[in-house]
Amino acid sequence: MSQVTPLFPNIPIQQFAPSSDNSPADRTARNKRGVADSSKRWSPGVITVSLDLANKKSQALVIDALKEWAHHTPGLQFEIVEGKRGDIRVSDDEGFTGSWSVIGTDALLVDEDQPTLHLDRTDNSKQLRTHALHEFGHALGLLHEHQHPQSTLDWDEQAVRDYFVSERFPAELVQEQILAPLTGPDVQSTAYDPQSVMHYPFPAHLSRKGHGTSENFFLSPGDQEAIRRLYRPNIPGVS
């Protein structure tokens, strides 16, 4: 896939712009995106997280985003480790393009010398934390909320295609990454939640109803429910 420069500064670029054919983004660009993939959830216990980031401020923001998720996943313990050998490997290496993450335990399939979650460098602290929050959702197995099977988005599909192609988004991915609702035996969902941090913001003109969606900066109650449900204890007789 050819290099594409991301032009969506206010949303995390999830697999929009892989920087090379060998990047984790490119290897996973065809993965499903949606609500949650139960086949990618982590087993209870310790997940190590390594941070290869430019400065301590970035590290603090990323750790803060991780803690927000950790509060709702008591069966998982996140351990920050030195170097680049974590189960989840966070990087802002400028050799990669875009903010992205592999989904859940797919991180274990990525070469150990490669990041599993990448964040574009920015001086905008709010944007960095928001992107980290979104990408850690993917790292835990959550998928894109705007592809929820019960989404109320009433797309003007031609407007969507024209808009994203004009912004240099790969045309072949518009259907797969934006328009297509997620289905399949491993797709797990709670009620559709436009306030989810896993939902992209969209301008109103992409909807036939003229309803856009705004950027979300914190876990919504729906996000909290979704991650708790994904990682609820497996107790016989409890569903």
pLDDT tens readout for residues 35-90: 788 899 999 999 999 999 989 999 999 999 999 999 999 999 999 998 889 999 99
Q: What is the pLDDT of residue 234?
A: 56
Sheet holding 45-52, edge to edge: 76-81, 45-52, 88-91, 117-118, 100-101
Sign of CA dihedral 140, 144, 147, 152: positive
Q: What is the pLDDT of residues 89-99, one digit of tens each?
A: 999 999 998 89
Task: Say yes or no to pLDDT of 4 above 80.
Answer: no
Q: What is the pLDDT of residues 174-216, one digit of tens each?
A: 888 889 888 887 887 888 999 999 998 999 999 999 989 999 9
Q: What is the pLDDT of residue 14?
A: 43
Q: What is the pLDDT of residue 9?
A: 36
When the pLDDT of each residue in the chain is averaged and rounded to a whole number, the result is 83
Q: What is the DSSP string of 103-120?
A: -GGGGGGS-TTS-SEE--
- pTM score, whole prediction: 0.82
Sign of CA dihedral 14, 43, 233, 67: negative
Task: Say yes or no to pLDDT of 22 above 50.
Answer: no
Q: What is the pLDDT of residue 176?
A: 84
The domains of the chain, with CATH numbers, are 24-230 (3.40.390.10)
Q: What is the pLDDT of residue 189?
A: 80
Q: How far apart, in Å, are the Cα atoms of 179 and each of 65, 80, 154, 173?
A: 28, 36, 10, 9
Q: What is the pLDDT of residues 132-144, one digit of tens each?
A: 999 999 999 999 9
**Identity (one letter) of the amino acid at 46?**
V
Burial class (CB in 10 A: 0-12, 13-18, 19+), 53: buried
Q: What is the pLDDT of residue 170?
A: 82
